[in-house]
Chains A and B, each alone.
Chain A
Amino acid sequence: MSLTTAPATAPTDDASATEPQRPRRAPRIGQSFAMFRNGKSLAGLAILGVFVVVAVLAPLIAPYDPLEKDFMALRQPPSAAHWLGTTHMGEDVFSQIVYGTRGVLVVGFLAGVLATLVAVIVGVVAGYVAGWRSESLSALTNVFLVIPGLPLIIIVASQYEDPPLMLIAGVLAITGWAWGARVLRAQTMSLRNRDFVQAAKANGEKLWRIIAVEMLPNLTAIIASSFVGTVTAAVLGLTTLAFIGVIPITNLNWGTILFWAQQNGAFPDYWWWYIPAGLCIALLGMALSLVNFGIDEYVNPRLRSAGERARAARRKGLQVDGGVTEVRTVSGTGDDARAG
């Protein structure tokens, strides 16, 4: 066998190796979550889990009320009393970050759920129907794809004295669903003509059942990745809005912390005020991206990094650096020869 085929076969071998351990009964749930069962996704989900726990248990974790002012301790560097120092008003930065996690996650996930819902409905319907209906839904998607999100939100938010979180999440969803809908439409179009969908049709299944039961389960990986993508975009959107001061200070999140830090000349001396908030945003973004990378690799094993493939090939006893046309010698064990 030539070495050129080694990288392509390695991932499939890995996948089939894990299969027999799967329980035969109740395989549906197992299969739905299979896309998260890899290092990258698990690492991302773990970080995400920590943030969720922090958001839920904020009152237990935070040592102070986030808006409690201590005028005896202004702009204090980190100490035992204030782990991440204090602001210009003597507020505890650590408590603000802990409470700020709530706003970020609530808006992020709310926007993600709303946007995914719209993307699935528009994308799958546009992919399933044909003709002018598909074209017009596709045109609608394209329009929303080019609507600049931030300016729209600034305009909408400026109509309100105190825009509710729901509204912010809604606007972030409106500007964020289009990409997912496009990807879903393309995938649905390819599913629509598969024989198993035709067979369901010929069996007399109703349209909604064909879409919901026969097609949607085959789209779960794409839906999940589009959900994670919109959550990331919504988190970044929210913190940006808070940072530029569109969202009022009553809504505490990491962006608000950065806003106050910037307003009060924290850069660059009072590093404890802005670096932790910035790191949290980066960490959450990284966690969500890791989950997405994991899903992508589950869908398309060829996306696994070249180094990983090379390691997998080496484990099988293949010489990765060898010439392309070189033929593997079978002087080793017979097992190896068959495994390739």
Chain B
Amino acid sequence: MTTLEFRNVTKRYKVRGAGDMLALDDVSFSLESGQTIALVGQSGSGKSTIAKILTQLERATTGEVLLDGKPIPHRGPGLRRYRQRVRMVFQDPFASLNPYHTIRHHLERPLRLDKVVPKDQVESEVMALLERVRLDPSATVDRRPHELSGGQRQRVAIARALASRPELLIADEPVSMLDVSIRLGVLNLLADLQRESNLGVLYITHDLATARHFSDRIMVLHHGVVVERGDADGVILDPQHEYTRALRDASPDPDRHFAGPAGTASLRS
């Protein structure tokens, strides 16, 4: 059982000539393997900052990130070990794959870097990874990202994240750049993979509907503060915080007609 804990994390960005910008204000939560937490919030609420701190592309200003109770190292082999166990899927599959390299390169690199399998098994492991994300291995492996569709690319990005056999996966809005019709396919893939390998998934999104569909617990972030948390159904059906309510009412619901007072609620509050 792996536990990742975010303890009282605050992040300030220095903005040139405009003082500091408080992106995260005293955020705490923990993520365990086998569990899916959805992190919901609008643009600029600090969702991606949490992802960046978790992958150590940014450092917390104050507070700690603990893996199995130990603070994560900021450099050296310790950081590499950590990064092997906690992987991230980026938001935009059109930007997160290098246009110059083939799919093979993208999947080989983490395998070689973390020495996941012996050298002579790298090739078969690449094929197995593509198989796992439901892509045709032989038809895909020598292609370049621009030859694939958005959904296929995101599957490659997921395969890359899984290559190092992580225990926790951070998915930063993994379907927001995809065509609506294929979102469900990618989300279901993530859910299947999560069950297969008992992954812990932090699902970052601004879409309450998929958050409910996909996760056990929901955390609502507003201006860098966690304003509400709880199990998925509870948060959606009985939101306590005003912002969560506005967020819920703003998302389209085919069962609800936009005539009543609930439909006219706006995010302006």
Contact = CB atoms under 8 A, between A and B. Distances in A.
A230 B79 CA distance: 42
Contacts of B90: 195, 198-199
A265 interface: no
B3 to A, nearest CB: 20
Interface string B74-91: 000001100110011011
B96 A196 contact: yes
B88 to A, nearest CB: 6
B100 A205 contact: no
Given A27-B102, A27-B144, A195-B90, A202 B96 contact: no
A129 interface: no
B100 A218 contact: yes
B109 interface: yes
Contacts of A214: 98, 101
Given A195-B90, A199-B90, A204 B83 contact: yes
B144 A218 contact: no
B92 interface: yes
A17 to B, nearest CB: 15
B100 A203 contact: no
A200 B55 contact: no
B84 A204 contact: yes
A314 B178 CA distance: 35
Contacts of A202: 55-57, 83, 87-88
Contacts of B97: 196, 199
Nearest to A19: B147
A214 B113 CA distance: 15
A218 B92 contact: no
User: Which interface residue of B79, B80, B96 has the most chain A CB atoms within 10 A?
Assistant: B96
Given A24-B142, A25-B142, A195-B92, A204 B113 contact: yes
A164 interface: no
A142 interface: no
B95 interface: yes
B102 A198 contact: no
Given A24-B142, A25-B142, A198-B90, A203 B98 contact: no
A204 B55 contact: no
A212 to B, nearest CB: 12
A39 interface: no
B20 interface: no
Contacts of A204: 79-80, 83-84, 113-114
A202 B161 CA distance: 10
Nearest to A196: B98
Interface string A197-217: 011111111000000001001
A315 interface: no
B165 interface: no
Contacts of A25: 142
Given A217-B100, A218-B100, A199 B160 contact: yes
B110 interface: yes
A208 B116 CA distance: 22
A201 B57 contact: yes
B99 interface: yes
A4 interface: no
A202 B56 CA distance: 7
B57 A203 contact: no
A338 interface: no
17 contacts: A27-B142, A195-B91, A196-B95, A198-B96, A199-B88, A199-B160, A201-B57, A202-B57, A202-B83, A203-B110, A203-B113, A204-B83, A204-B113, A205-B109, A217-B98, A217-B101, A218-B99
Q: Closest 6 CB pairs between A and B?
A: A195-B96, A195-B95, A217-B100, A196-B98, A202-B55, A204-B80
